[in-house]
Amino acid sequence: MSAIKPSQDLDEIGPEQRLFAPKRLEVSQERRLLARVLLLATLVVLMGGAVNVIVDPLYRWRTGLLAPFEGEDGIKGYALDHRVPVETVVIGNSRALAIDPEHMSKATRWRSFNAAASLSSWKDQIHTADTAIRRSPQRVRHVVWVLTPESMSRQPREGASKLLDDLHDTFSLGELKATAKSVAPRLGISYHPNLLYTYDEGTGRQTRVRTVVGWFDRGDAEARRRVRAFLEPGLITSWASSVADASIRADVEKAISGWSRRGISTVIVIPPYQPLVYHLGGNEFNDMAAELGIWAATLETRGVASVVDVSHIESFSGAPNEFLDGVHLRGANVRKLTDSVVRALRAL
């Protein structure tokens, strides 16, 4: 190796280095300046801290004077923008959007965020939860996982969402908001700071699920036609094999065990179908739905996760007409399902 001195080539790359050497001060002056920096910083922190504790705009101290998840107010947007960590993360496909995080936050006092996304697979959902946990490892306490046969299916989903691809790379609360805002129009879904609501196929309007007109308001014949279209025979077979698939089950259990090792408990929710779906679904569909419930129950028995099986509306006093379609809830059903989850969370 050459022993050339560096100074020969200083004109190309690499600077002359100097070590940090602040200008010397008089003793009294240096202490005055030092005290000034520290005092001001402390004062600002104390003032900000006081506002935080008393008004609690970020919901850190849960004083309740200003709850961030109270409707579509600016505080929620502010909280999301500033990546305030969540304590309960909801994952699942579009059916999981029926869980109302605002209500859940207020009822449990744990900040909740619904990170469910339409068309997501079980792998997408695991990834979403993992990412949320990685971002706030000290904060996330619960994962509410809405498990559905549709999201456990290996069958490729038509038009799998670009939103999910983006979420994989960028998920954080602030980023989720920004991402969802930008891609939602392309996907034909509307954006809400805390929820992504599907739009109403019938009217073409992008409105909130809770107020939208669903199939079941348009007469029995229309509802039956739609349910039959949903229950495509090939799809039912695919769902049935996915629900029974040992490797998918192992993936799910592995993910839950991983979260459990980090002190995060999981609540599995088996969401309801509209009764007409069971009625028209035939044996294969009913067996498949039952199989999912049985497997979930074994997970609870083995202490892997808590289970809220509300696959039939009777189990949570749901109303048959409070469905947007065969699988998506609206109105009072949203509140009732969320209440069931809240009870499970409180029991943990």
Residues making contact with other proteins (CB under 8 A): 1-4, 6, 8-15, 17-25, 27, 29-31, 33-34, 36-45, 47-49, 52, 58, 60, 81-85, 135-136, 139, 162, 165-166, 169-170, 172, 174-175, 178-179, 182
* Closest distance of CB 168 from other proteins, Å: 9
Give the DSSP H or E segment for 95.
none
Phi/psi-derived region of residue 117, left when phi > 0, alpha when psi is between -120 and 50, beta in every other case: beta
Using only C-alpha atoms, the chain has a radius of gyration, in whole angstroms, of 26
Between 38 and 348, CB nearer to other proteins: 38
Comparing CB distances to other proteins, the nearer of 30 and 70 is 30
Distance of closest approach, residue 48 Cβ to other proteins, in angstroms: 4
Comparison of 135 and 249: residue with beta carbon closer to other proteins: 135
In the complex, what is the shortest distance from the CB of residue 47 to other proteins, in angstroms, rounded to a whole number?
Answer: 8
Q: Considering beta carbons, is residue 27 or 221 the nearer one to other proteins?
A: 27
CB nearer other proteins, residue 196 or residue 288 = 196
Choose between 153 and 179: whose C-beta lies nearer to other proteins: 179
Beta bridge partners of 191: 196
Q: Residue 54 Cβ, how far from other proteins at the closest point, in Å?
A: 14
Backbone angles phi, psi at 242, to 5 degrees: -70, -40
Residue at 290: amino acid letter: A
Eight-class DSSP state of 72 = S
To other proteins, the closest distance from the beta carbon of 92 in angstroms equals: 23
Both structure tokens of 332: 């009072």
**CB of residue 65 vs other proteins: minimum separation in angstroms?**
18
**Pairwise CA distance, residues 224 & 196, whole Å:** 26
Burial of 301 (0-12, 13-18, 19+ CB in 10 A): exposed
Dihedral over Cα of 252, 255, 258, 259: its sign: negative
- Which residues, 6 or more positions from 316, have their beta carbon under 8 angstroms from its beta carbon? 272, 310, 336, 337, 339, 340
Residue closer to other proteins by CB (options 40, 290) is: 40
Residue with tokens 């739609």: 226
* SS3 (DSSP) at 70: coil
Residue 17 or 301 with smaller CB distance to other proteins: 17
Sign of CA dihedral 102, 104, 106, 112: negative
Q: Which of 126, 340, 141 is nearest to 253 (CA)?
A: 126
Report the nearest approach of other proteins to the CB of residue 180 (Å). 10
To other proteins, the closest distance from the beta carbon of 298 in angstroms equals 33
What tokens appear for 337 in the block?
Answer: 């399902």
